[in-house]
Every structure is written in structure tokens, then in C-alpha cells.
Amino acid sequence: MIVAEIAKSKNDEFYTPSYAIEPIMKYVKPGSTIWCPFDTKDSLFVKEFENAGFTIIHSHIDNGGDFFKMTPPKCDYIISNPPYSLKTEVLQRLFKLDIPFAMLVGVVGLFESQKRFEMFRDNTFECMYLNRRVSYFKNYDDQKPSLNPPFSSVYICHRMLPRQIVFEEIHK
Ligand SMILES: C[S@@+](CC[C@H](N)C(=O)[O-])C[C@H]1O[C@@H](n2cnc3c(N)ncnc32)[C@H](O)[C@@H]1O
């Protein structure tokens, strides 16, 4: 499979702050099990959802958990911030798995490639738009997120949000 042969991209190494995780939490049913497939134990997706009482299964390519090769664990949701260089392939696999999911992705160009145009046209999805841009950590040890992409991030969801577009505020 082509995807499995794509080398890990340096541009994929940025990490999500807690304030960007909070808005998706209220759409997750209490007692759920969540798979975070692009996350080590240091990920704030893992920490925030665990602190909120959810059961988390996390996996990451560095620990032998290649998302494209893994059989999905039994879970109610798949939630993360995926490697942006593979966002089309990630979303394609998620739609095929048909487990409710939320993926935080950059909005720029999201609907512009023919492949993604067809994928979004042919699948059921919802979008969460945030009032401010998300800044990301370069390193989990950093005190503050210092990477400021010049575009907004949105959650692309499947069978998670009550409407096709939902607006949420973040508190940086
Ligand atoms: C944008 S980062 C986000 C990390 C984490 N989800 C967060 O928000 O803090 C995406 C991560 O996915 C990892 N990754 C890349 N390809 C992967 C794959 N095929 N399977 C699992 N993880 C992968 C990258 O190494 C990177 O650490």
C-alpha cells in the first residue's frame, strides 16, 4: 500500500493544546471508549479524555501502531489530530471503518482536491468550526504552544455532531 511507504513527515510533528480538545468533549457520550490512533501517552487528547473519565486506547507509529495497518480496537469513537500530510488517506480509512470520529485538521484546501471533494460528497460528515485559530506545541514539554499556522483548524466528524456545521468557542 502506497500510504504505508510514505516516510514520516517532519511537518506532521505538532501537538494539540488542551483548549482545542475541550470543545469536542461534550459531544462524546459518558462512559465511552475512545481510540486515539496518532497519540502517545504524552498526548493531551489522551490526558484530557482520561481525566474526564473516558476509557482511552492510544497508538502511534513510533510504538508500532501504524494506523493504516492496525485492526481498529473495539471503541465507540476515534478522536485525534492526524498527520496532516496523510489527511486524505486517514479520512478515507475512517469513513470506511464507519466508527464515529472527530479529526482536527487545517481548513485550508480541505475541499479543494478532487479526491477529497468526492470523499466529502459521498460520505456523511459534520464540521466543527472554532472561533479562533489553534496554536500547536512543537514538543510536549513546551510551556506554551508556539506554532501558529496561518489558517483555522476544524474538526471533521462522522456521526458525532447534531448538525452538519457546529460553531464552538475556544478559550486560549
Ligand atoms: C499532527 S501530530 C498530532 C499528534 C497528537 N495527535 C496530538 O494532537 O498531540 C500526528 C502524529 O501522527 C504520527 N503518525 C504519522 N503517521 C502515522 C501512522 N501511519 N500511524 C500512526 N501515527 C502516525 C506522527 O508521527 C505525529 O506524531
> How far apart are the CA of 114 and the centre of ligand 1, in A?
24
* CB of 137 sitting under 6 A from ligand 1: no
Contact 112, 119 (CB under 8 A): no
The CA-CA-CA angle for residues 25, 20, 50, to 5°, reads 45
The CATH number linked to 123 is 3.40.50.150
Average pLDDT of the segment spanning 76-100: 97
Tell me the CA–centroid distance for residue 66 and ligand 1, in Å. Answer: 9
Q: Can you tell me which atom of ligand 1 is nearest the CA of 140?
A: 9
Q: Which domain holds residue 136?
A: 10-62+69-168
Q: Please write the tens of the pLDDT for every residue from 40-79.
A: 999 999 999 999 999 999 999 999 999 999 999 999 999 9
* Residue 3 included in any domain: no
* Residue 4 φ then ψ, to 5°: -65, -20
Question: Nearest 5°: phi and psi at 77?
Answer: -145, 155
**Cα→Cα distances 83→4, 17, 146, 167, Å:** 13, 16, 18, 24
Whole-model pTM? 0.94
Quote the ligand 1 centre to 102 CA distance (angstroms). Answer: 14
